[in-house]
Amino acid sequence: MGHLFDKIMDTNVDEVRMKNVAYGVSKVYELVTQSLLFYCLGMFIGYNFIVPLMHLFVTMFTFVSIFAFVLSGNDSSKWFWMNSVAISLGIISGPVIAIAYELDPLILPTAAVSTTAIFAFFTYHAKNIRDEDMNYMGSFLYSSLLASVIVGFVMLFFRVSQFVQLVYLGLGLVMFCGFISYDTKLMYDRFKKGETNYYDHAMNLFLDIINVFIKILNILMILSGKKKDNKKDKQ
């Protein structure tokens, strides 16, 4: 009789835990969707209204918003700063979108569809990550991110070939694909333990998506530019 009672209790605990996970995941994706909409609004503003000199101030505001988000202690302020980051990143992306559209109108929808497919695939792949691999994976990804930031900063001061740019963007794309799986797995694991910090997980996934989108966008722009150059050479 005691064993039967224990099994019933374990079943009830598992059901409650799964409900918490389901609610937490749906809440996170709801927040991510909101931020993506704000990002699109920012792109519209950056594409149509923002002059180049204002981008320095928008970039500074983006970093301020990220720090404010990290330091925020309540959900309403986290929501505000998270979507401030989204709008700012969208504004910064506006001129890039304009260049991409001039090169080839199909670049933007291709990047958007590719990003959606990649996010779906690596979200599904997250369930295959073993718990014991999470520490190793996290250390590797964050070390790669730091190296990527340093290399990207150094590249600002040197003229690099398109091949080097493609390699850098390709490796960055692979890295953020890994972050999608890692952050998704981390989210599920934390929610199983009863955590309710939805905004941090939403911010992580939002930044993963935007980075994947921007990497793909830049890769397509370089490839499209090379095609146009080849056509001109033939003419």
Measured distance between the N- and C-terminal CA atoms of the chain, rounded to whole angstroms:
87
Taking a C-beta distance cutoff of 8 angstroms, is the pair 87, 42 a contact? Answer: yes
- Model pLDDT, residue 67: 94
If the chain, 235 residues long, is cut into consecutive pieces of 10 residues, what is the mean pLDDT of each piece?
Answer: 45 65 92 97 88 81 94 91 96 91 92 97 90 89 94 89 92 96 94 88 97 96 73 54
Euclidean distance between CA atoms 165 and 155, whole angstroms: 9
- Model pLDDT, residue 230: 54
pTM of the model: 0.89
Look-up of token digits 């990290």: 70
Those residues whose C-beta lies under 8 Å from the C-beta of residue 176, and which sit 6 or more positions away, are: 208, 211, 212, 215
68-80 pLDDT tens trace: 999 988 889 999 9
Taking a C-beta distance cutoff of 8 angstroms, is the pair 115, 209 a contact? Answer: yes
Helix (H, G, I), strand (E, B) or coil at 224: helix
- Model pLDDT, residue 34: 97
- Residue 184's nearest CA partner among 119, 113, 135 is 119
